[in-house]
Copies of this chain bind each other. A is one copy, B any other.
């Protein structure tokens, strides 16, 4: 197995001004190619420390990928330091120069003189075109080691990786094929999930690993083989066994998100949904409409934050609010019925709860009721996130629960 190290260059990372998403992106992509990442390092815009880091990494690993420090200013030093350390000479490339000038022209401006140095590339290296910006990337190969330089801005870096670097690595370093599948669940905790598949967690190929994230749990199954087909053949029985054991909690395999699953199900069954939200206040609608094409299954939502608006816009009865409170099964039912009537949608979905901080009506933060009204009738479910002091978590996980209740309802039709 080939080994790789990552080196992020930029004083702004050491000051904590920006989050290093490049390291995660590259690590994940390299794992998928079967290349092991042994170390991630970050140094500032300091030539000596960068040279030391690169030397140490080259001693340990086959490949070093650096991100950042390819910009036009004086403190962008990555290319110069790497070429000097490895003995590559920089020459100005006229065609890159023209494409950088064109980049500025398209934006109605003139290329500043400082950008000239971005057209300098190693005389004998591989150059990767930057389709999203001006700094080209490059690969310097020497003595069986490979140093790859990529721009720091995540969108430029990931586009360059996709278009140029992955094929480059696949061609020279990919060591078999690694394929992963993710079984995504909502409503079961990570440890309860792991218990159901405890006997499968020790497998070596495929490997089975549980993860938890923001109220959801997933199992990643990863196989390595000579070809993608062979890897999929190893995965298939394990994935179906796990899916069977986790049953109703599984909302998708390799699905992007709960909202993607719900949009797909609504499209399949040719249904439209409408939302009436209180504590989540637009979060469910916002998440559903993240998915391109959501307009085919979603016409409208109503955010009724106050009791008065629940009465006025959704027709919730004042008596219900008085007797049971806004956070109750009864109110959730009437909100779902109200939004279905107002919108003319096939399914009305409601959310009413306590996001916190502070409990209301003697109800704890994190408690909510989700209502569903379809042509078969109306029901509501009670839900608790179990966290009293995390408003954003409660709002997010409650909106996930609403999507999951809707998913289960559509599946039951």
Stretch at the interface among A122-130, A163-171, A280-288, A401-409: A280-288
A85: interface (CB < 8 Å): no
Interface membership of A56, Cβ < 8 A: yes
* A13 at interface, CB cutoff 8 A: yes
In this assembly, does A379 line the interface, its C-beta being within 8 Å of a C-beta of chain B?
no
A295 on interface, CB distance cutoff 8 Å? yes
CB neighbours (8 Å) of A282 from chain B are 277, 281-286, 289, 301, 303
Closest to A307 in B: B299
Q: Residues 17-39 of chain A: 1 if any B CB is under 8 Å from the residue's CB, otherwise 0? A: 11111011111111100001111
A31 and B56 contacting across the interface, CB-CB below 8 Å: no
Closest chain B residue to A21 by CB distance?
B19
Interface set, chain A 237-283, CB cutoff 8 A to B: 275, 277, 280-283
Minimum CB–CB distance for A285 against chain B, Å: 4
CA distance A36 to B49 in the complex (A): 14
Interface-facing stretch out of A40-48, A94-102, A143-151: A40-48
A275 to B281, CA, bound (A): 11
Beyond A17-B211, A295-B306, 10 additional pairs, beta carbon < 8 A: A14-B36, A15-B28, A19-B21, A281-B282, A282-B283, A286-B286, A289-B305, A289-B355, A300-B306, A300-B313
Q: Is the CB of A302 within 8 A of B303?
A: yes
Inter-chain contact B27/A14, CB cutoff 8 Å: yes
A331 → B minimal CB distance (Å): 15
Residues of B within 8 A of A38 (CB): 14, 43-44, 49
Q: Mark A299-325, 1 if CB is under 8 A from B, else 0.
A: 111111110110011000000000000
Q: Which of B16, B29, B313 is the one whose CB lies under 8 Å from A27?
A: B16
- Which residues does chain B contribute within 8 Å of A16, judged by CB atoms? 23-31, 37
Residue contact B40 to A41, C-beta cutoff 8 Å: yes
Whether the pair B309, A305 counts as a contact (CB closer than 8 A) is no
Closest Cβ of chain B to A32, distance in Å, is 9
Given contacts A292-B357, A305-B289, contact A27 B43 (CB under 8 A): no
